[in-house]
Amino acid sequence: MKIDGVHYRTIWVADDGWSIEVIDQTKLPHAFQTVRLRSADDAARAIKDMVVRGAPLIGATAAYGLCLALRDDASDATLNEAYQMLAATRPTAVNLKWALDEMVKAVKPHGHSVRVDAAYAAASKICDDDVEICRRIGENGLKIIRGHAEVKPGKTVNILTHCNAGWLACVDWGTALAPIYMAHDAGIPVHVWVDETRPRNQGASLTAFELGRHGVPHTIIPDNAGGHLMQHGQVDLCIVGTDRTTATGDVANKIGTYLKALAAFDNDVPFYVALPHTTIDWTLDDGVAEIPIEQRSAREVTHITGRTDAGEIVTVEISAPGSAAANYGFDVTPARLVTGLITERGVAAATREGLLSLYPERR
C-alpha cells in the first residue's frame, strides 16, 4: 500500500538490520507513525495492545518476536519461553500459533550459532508468502466481484465489510480488501459500506483509512445499519476476513460478523469470507463450541478515543459510570451462512469437502 507515494508493508526489518519496525495502528487514522520492536517483550506488547492486529500480521509479528528473543539467547529454553509468551498474547487468531510453529520448525534443527539467521530468514519468508497469498486471494475474489459487475453493467457494485481485513491486517494487500483493491484498479465501479466495528472501530479508523488512501469510494456506517441496507437492495455482497476457520467452514471473525451473516442470509445477499490457509484450524470441527473467543478490557467499550476539532487526541467515557461492560472480541459465523471461502487456491464451499477440494494434502 502506498502512503504519500511510498510503498509500505505493515512490518519490516529496520535499517539497523535487526530491530523490527511496524506501523502503530493505535494512532491511525490521525497519525501515521512507526514503532520499533527490540525484544520479544516488545513484540508481545505490540500484539496485546493492538499496535499491530489482524490475524496474518499478528502471526508475522510473533515470528519476528522469536527472532528478537533468539538474538539475546539462541537456546531451546529461550525459544520455548518466547514461544509461550507470544502464543498467549491473543487467543482467537490461529495464524499466531501457525507462525510460531513454522518458526520453531525452521530454527530448531540448527545449532545455536546459526539460529538467529535461520529465524530472520523464516520470518521474512512468512511475510513474503503472506503478500503473495493475499495477492492470489485478491485475484480469486476479483472474479466474484466481476461477476456481480457483469449483471449490473455500468452500475456500482456495493460491498459490505466488517472490521479491517485489509493491508493493515496483513503484510500487504489484505484478505477481504484485496479483491476490492483489484476490482477498483481494474476499473470496476465499487463502493464499500464500512462497518465502524465497535468497540475499537477498526472499520471507521483503519478500513476507511486504507480505502481512502487507495481512492476506493466508501461510506462508514454504524454497525447496526447493514441489515437495513440489505433490505433495501443496497448491498450486492459482503466480504469479511477471519481469525480462525474450522475444517468444516465455520469462521470466527470480529464481533458482529455473525449478525451481518444472518442479515445477509435473510436478504439473499452473498456472504463471502476471505482467508489464507494459515487461518484454517484443521483440528476443529465446531466453531461455536471450540474456537476460543478473546475477551478484552471493558474499558474498550466504556471509553472511546478520538480527535477533537482542535486536533487533540483524547479518550472519553461514553457509558454510564459504574455499569458493567462485556467485551467479546470475536464471534463465530456457522458455515451454513457462508456463501463461499475465498482462498489463495480458489473459492470453496464452506464445508469440509469444499476446503479439502482446495487443500487435498489435508485428506
Question: Which residues are part of the catalytic machinery?
Answer: 243
CA distance 62 to 68: 10
Please select the residue that binds ligand MRU; options are 23, 56, 180, 350, rule is CB under 6 A: 56
Residues 10-29 that bind ligand MRU (CB under 6 A): none
Distance CA 246, CA 280 (A): 6
Q: Between residues 78 and 257, which has the closer beta carbon with respect to ligand MRU? A: 257
Edge to edge, what strands does the sheet with 157-161 contain?
Answer: 218-221, 190-195, 157-161, 237-240, 271-274, 340-343, 346-348
Quick one: 70 or 177, whose CB is closer to ligand MRU? 177
The binder of ligand MRU chosen from 11, 46, 55, 79 (CB under 6 A): 55
Q: How far apart are CA 332 and CA 285, in angstroms?
A: 12
- 169 near ligand MRU, rule: CB under 6 A: yes
Candidate ranges 38-46, 162-170, 265-273, 309-317; the one touching ligand MRU (CB under 6 A): 162-170
Say if residues 106 and 116 touch (Cβ distance below 8 Å). Answer: no
Question: Which residues sit in the known binding site for substrate?
Answer: 53-55, 90, 202, 253-254
Binding of ligand MRU by 91 (CB under 6 A): no
- Decide whether 57 or 74 has the Cβ nearer to ligand MRU: 57
For 161, the 3-state DSSP assignment is strand
The set of cell numbers assigned to 86 is 507470544
Omega cis (within 30) before 217 = no
With CB under 6 A as the contact rule, which of the stretches 13-21, 30-38, 97-105, 168-176 interacts with ligand MRU?
A: 168-176
Q: Does 253 bind ligand MRU (CB under 6 A)?
A: yes
User: Strands across the sheet with 11-13, in order?
Assistant: 11-13, 20-23, 34-37
Note whether 333 binds ligand MRU by CB under 6 A.
Answer: no
Residue 163 lies near ligand MRU (rule: CB under 6 A): yes
**Minimal distance, residue 362 CB to ligand MRU, in Å:** 21
- Residue 312 C-beta: closest distance to ligand MRU, Å: 25
CA–CA separation, 363 vs 359, rounded Å? 8
- Asked if residues 166 and 206 have their Cβ atoms less than 8 Å apart, the reply is yes
Which of 179, 329, 334, 340 is close enough to bind ligand MRU by CB under 6 A? 329
Least separation in angstroms between CB 157 and ligand MRU: 21
Note whether 235 and 266 are within 8 A (CB).
Answer: no
Count Cβ atoms within 10 A of the Cβ of residue 213 and give its class: 0-12 exposed, 13-18 middle, 19 or more buried: middle
How far apart are alpha carbons 260 and 159 in whole angstroms? Answer: 12
Query: What H or E segment, with its residue span, contains residue 257?
Result: helix 257-266
156 secondary structure, DSSP code = P
Give the nearer residue to ligand MRU in terms of CB position, either 56 or 354: 56
Among 37, 42, 46, 54, binds ligand MRU (CB under 6 A): 54
- Buried b / exposed e across 256-286, counting CB within 10 Å, b at 16+? bbbbbbebbbebebbbbbbbbbbbbbeebee
CB 281 to ligand MRU: min, Å:
14
- Residue position matching grid coordinates 490461529: 94
Considering only 165, 239, 338, 355, the residue that binds ligand MRU (CB under 6 A) is 165
Site string (212-251) toward ligand MRU, x via CB under 6 A: -----------------------------xxx--------
Q: State in angstroms the smallest separation of the CB of 27 from ligand MRU.
A: 15
Chain residues that interact with ligand MRU, rule: CB under 6 A = 53-56, 93, 163, 165, 169-170, 175, 202, 241-243, 253-254, 329
